[in-house]
Amino acid sequence: MEDQDLPTLVQLAAQSLLRNQALAVSALADLPGELFPLLFKEAFARRCTAVLKALVQAWPFPCLPLGALMEASDLEALQVALDGLDMLLALTDRPRRWKLQVLDLRNLHHNFWKLWAGGDADDSPTEAQMRRPKSLAEESGGDMGAKPLLEVLMDLSISQRTLDPFLSYLLLWVEKRKALVLLSCKKFKIITPHVHSAKKILEKLQLGCVEEVEVNCNWTLPSLVTFATYLGRMGNLRSLLLSHVHQASSIAPEEQEQLVLRFTSQFAQLACLQQLSIDSVCFLEGRLHQVLGCLRTPLESLSITDSRLSESDLTCLSQSPSVRQLSGLNLSGVRMTGFSPEPLRVLLESVAATVKTLDLEDCGIHDAQLTAILPALSRCSSLTTFNYLRNPMSMAALESLLVHTVRLSHLSLEMYSTPLEAYGPQGSLHQWRLNQLRDELMTTAEPLRHSRTVWFSTIPCPLPGNQVLIDEGAHLCPGCYFL
């Protein structure tokens, strides 16, 4: 056994104390607070139920990060902790050492337990690690009514029609003690088509605490509107991902308009929203102004993918104050083949000073449109990643594009489809033409003076045995790869 695996004297003392649980419980009153985390971790590993309950009641720190110690859905550990809290909450007078305010069930704070498990003397937890997470009252501006005794904090993921035993037990426990306990979460993920499963949670959750929401399931507009009544109350929401919303055939156009309006109007309440991702939704075409017009603050990233937009939507997007500070813009799968290039050109100009990641994959942009937007693209001085895959492009257009991107000193990754000249009349990919193309691109890329990777993919996707790798030349900075 190596020295680093040897238990410390404090660990040995804790293990010895746990051999007699009654003695361990009686010793807590005189135990220094610094020893609680180590003793708790040892008791948790050994499932010393009586000691764990007593440790929860006497915990000398504002936050107990229990989730970092638990396996997923560890119902037994949850029951032990909640039993200990029940004894604590039942007391009319708080114990002198009672500081616990938050039971954190998230899988975080591993460093807290590691540092307390016998590290160097200088490895004591910092003040930031010791203090509780920001309270719900602080998150919501201080207006929470009567202050609860305890906050239960967790990340939630709803994937089935019925709740798992862990979550069901916790919800029932919180519901019975709702005057004393609040349930909150930072990250809420919904991947079930059964909106009523999510509704059971949302009705018990302190919505003002939610910071990230992901809805990734096949919902119809009515289901989305049901969720929207809760979304509008998430005043601290910073990130929203909405994916796969389809239109029910039984909904009349007038009703659909009302449903869309009821949903989009909720964005006016999201004053902290920074990241918005909308993927494969049925209602955006011709209505993007309803979403953008309700946003109250500039976004940091915007992703609208695999959704139909009109040219007027793109114009609205290019003129929206909400996109002027974007660092990430993703429009992959938004078909622009018949559009005027002007809205996209204006959009690129509006984000040129800030955008770092630009994704225009599979937008159906043709050479003439590309030529029109190149001056705006060349002004995106902070761009680091540019994805232009699955857009048909000639060799001449590609060479012109590379002439413009060569000016972008921060650009480190470019992704393109192989130019059309590399294909024969029947759509077959010619190896000799790829080799010729490689040489031409290397000549174009040779003047670059910073590290850069350029990927090329065949259309529509790579085929086994049909992959060519262009090796980096020792005298060149960029690498060009065909896949």
Q: What is the pLDDT of residues 205-242, one digit of tens each?
A: 999 999 999 999 888 899 999 999 999 999 999 999 99
- Of residues 476 and 273, the one with the higher pLDDT is 273
Question: Which pLDDT band holds residue 145 (cuts at 50, 70, 90)?
Answer: very low
pTM, two decimal places: 0.85
- Of residues 440 and 403, the one with the higher pLDDT is 403
- Is residue 136 over pLDDT 90? no
Question: Percent of the chain at pLDDT above 90?
Answer: 50
Mean pLDDT over residues 99-126, rounded?
71
Q: Which residue has the tokens 């059971």?
A: 200
Mean pLDDT over residues 143-158, rounded?
77
- Is residue 124 over pLDDT 50? no
**Nearest residue to 284 (alpha-carbon basis) of 254, 255, 306:** 306
Q: Where are the beta strands (DSSP E) in 292-375?
A: 301-305, 328-330, 357-359
3-state SS, one letter per residue, for 116-180 = HCCCCCCCCCCHHHHCCCCCHHHHCCCCCCCCCCEEEECCEEECCCCCCHHHHHHHHHHHHCCCC
Instruction: State residue 471's pLDDT score.
Output: 33
* H or E element, residue 213: strand 212-220
Question: Which pLDDT band holds residue 10 (cuts at 50, 70, 90)?
Answer: confident
Instruction: State residue 469's pLDDT score.
Output: 34
d(C-alpha 416, C-alpha 483), whole Å: 10
Instruction: State residue 459's pLDDT score.
Output: 54
**Nearest residue to 406 (alpha-carbon basis) of 371, 458, 441:** 441
Q: What is the mean pLDDT of the chain?
A: 83
d(C-alpha 399, C-alpha 375), whole Å: 14
Structure tokens at 157: 């993921």
- Is residue 141 over pLDDT 60? no
- Of residues 51 and 452, the one with the higher pLDDT is 51
Instruction: State residue 95's pLDDT score.
Output: 67
Ranking 20-34, 116-130, 341-355 by mean pLDDT, the lowest is 116-130
- Is residue 326 over pLDDT 90? yes
Mean pLDDT over residues 259-288, rounded?
93
- Is residue 385 over pLDDT 80? yes
Looking at 284-359, list the stretches that DSSP marks H as alpha helix, in order from N- to C-terminal side. Answer: 288-292, 311-319, 342-351
Mean pLDDT over residues 80-105, rounded?
85
- Of residues 302 and 412, the one with the higher pLDDT is 302
d(C-alpha 267, C-alpha 394), whole Å: 42
Mean pLDDT over residues 289-316, rounded?
94
Q: Which residue has the tokens 């000249």?
A: 421
Partners of 302 in beta bridges: 276, 329
- Is residue 194 over pLDDT 50? yes
Mean pLDDT over residues 90-108, rounded?
83
Which stretch, 95-109, 114-128, 339-353, 458-472, has highest mean pLDDT?
339-353
Instruction: State residue 383's pLDDT score.
Output: 97
CA-to-CA dists, residue 412 to 331, 355, 449, angstroms: 20, 14, 11
Q: Which amino acid is at 337?
A: T
d(C-alpha 299, C-alpha 273), whole Å: 7
d(C-alpha 57, C-alpha 182), whole Å: 18
- Is residue 460 over pLDDT 70? no
SS3 of residue 482 by DSSP: strand
- Of residues 246 and 388, the one with the higher pLDDT is 388
Q: Give the up-direction half-sphere exposure of residue 235: CA atoms within 13 A in the CB hemisphere.
A: 10
d(C-alpha 47, C-alpha 76), whole Å: 9
List CB contacts of 353: < 8 A, sequence separation 6 or more.
381, 382
Instruction: State residue 103's pLDDT score.
Output: 95
Instruction: State residue 447's pLDDT score.
Output: 64
Q: Which residue has the tokens 């050492």?
A: 97
Instruction: State residue 476's pLDDT score.
Output: 29
Instruction: State residue 403's pLDDT score.
Output: 84
d(C-alpha 151, C-alpha 141), whole Å: 16
Ranking 111-120, 325-334, 347-356, 454-463 by mean pLDDT, the lowest is 454-463
Question: Percent of the chain at pLDDT above 70?
Answer: 83
d(C-alpha 28, C-alpha 14), whole Å: 12
Return the DSSP state at 47. T
d(C-alpha 252, C-alpha 259), whole Å: 11
Instruction: State residue 321's pLDDT score.
Output: 94
- Is residue 140 over pLDDT 50? no
